[in-house]
Amino acid sequence: MQEYFYLLLSEIYKILFLLVPVLVSIAMVVWLDRRVWAFVQKRRGPNVVGPFGLLQSLADALKYMFKEIIIPASSNKIIFILAPIVTMTLSLIAWAVIPFSEDFVLSDINVGILYLFAISSLAVYGIIMGGWASNSKYPFLGSIRSAAQMVSYEVSIGIIIINVLLCVGSLNLSDIVLAQEKVWFIIPLFPMFVIFFISALAETNRPPFDLPEAEAELVAGYQTEYSGMMYAMFWLGEYANILLMCSIGSILFLGGWLSPINVYPFDLIPSPVWLILKILLLFILFALVKAIVPRYRYDQLMRLGWKIFLPFSLFWVVLTAGYLLYFNLLPVI
């Protein structure tokens, strides 16, 4: 009995060792997000609360903690409360299979990529639950938009991942990283990286595809009736998903924890640091897109996903498979 207790404590320690840095990093990337927008638009950004405004995210968190949580009288109260919890929980448990180095991963399962794809597919339920349970037209319209948008772009992301799996022959994320020791997949699969990046913007409801929460026509979309910490949980889940997409992109196309330069002094930098730097690079690109690109119309968003990305990614799968088969480069499983 005592052995099981110590085993449970060990697992809890591992989970906290992963989740606490993720939650802290969310606060930091929110600050980085704002600073990048300010830099592009020639503004100061957060610069008052703490040095360089670094404590602005902490101030926002305190504000949300002390704001009153209002539950609409006509809402389905149980589902209304569960929606942000589901959204945040799903965005955090996906980090269990992300390898930060060859030995530093919470759960190194053989079907890691399928696990990530399944969790990201379930994420839409929190948004749908929140929109429907609010019993209001604007949140419901925002949640329906989100369902259509996320399902549409998940198809493209799934086909893009097939290109990588054809080159690796494994669903294990560590194997995908190790397969890029000679060349990162961003070089032979650059068009797929571009489509993955744009699809990740749509998958995480980031501008120019933030139509489920479009302030102009839907007030704030599925979040309209939420306040206080319940609103903050949606917000945390969204940023956790953004970082997750950046980490998946780094693993699939940028060599994960592998160093780009294996010479002194770069070879002394720990493997997790390289992955974190690549995640930050992709996140900065996410922030730049928000600051530069105007919002799409909803019909343009759907047309881009179904009429351009889907046929092109299918064509690239055929091209990749044909090339590997012709030159006898298919991996042996």
Please state, in angstroms and rounded to a whole number, the distance separating the CA atoms of residues 244 and 204.
Answer: 10
Q: Are 207 and 290 in contact (CB under 8 A)?
A: yes
- The whole-angstrom distance between residue 98's C-alpha and the CA centroid of its chain comes to 12
Please state, in angstroms and rounded to a whole number, the distance separating the CA atoms of residues 278 and 264.
Answer: 19
What was the pLDDT predicted at 23? 83
User: What does the block give as tokens for 1?
Assistant: 């009995």
What was the pLDDT predicted at 203? 85
What was the pLDDT predicted at 153? 87
How many CB atoms within 10 Å of residue 70?
11
Please state, in angstroms and rounded to a whole number, the distance separating the CA atoms of residues 281 and 287.
Answer: 10
Please state, in angstroms and rounded to a whole number, the distance separating the CA atoms of residues 292 and 40.
Answer: 8
What was the pLDDT predicted at 1? 66
Q: SS3 for 207-252, per residue? A: CCCCHHHCHHHHCCHHHCCCCHHHHHHHHHHHHHHHHHHHHHHHHH
The pLDDT of 3-27, averaged and rounded, is 78
Q: Which of 112, 208, 195 is nearest to 157 (CA)?
A: 195
Flag the least confident range among 142-151, 193-202, 240-249.
142-151
Could you tell me the pTM of the whole model?
Answer: 0.91
Is residue 333 predicted with pLDDT exceeding 70?
no
The pLDDT of 49-58, averaged and rounded, is 87
Please name the residues in contact with 310: beta carbons below 8 A apart, sequence gap of 6 or more.
155, 156, 159
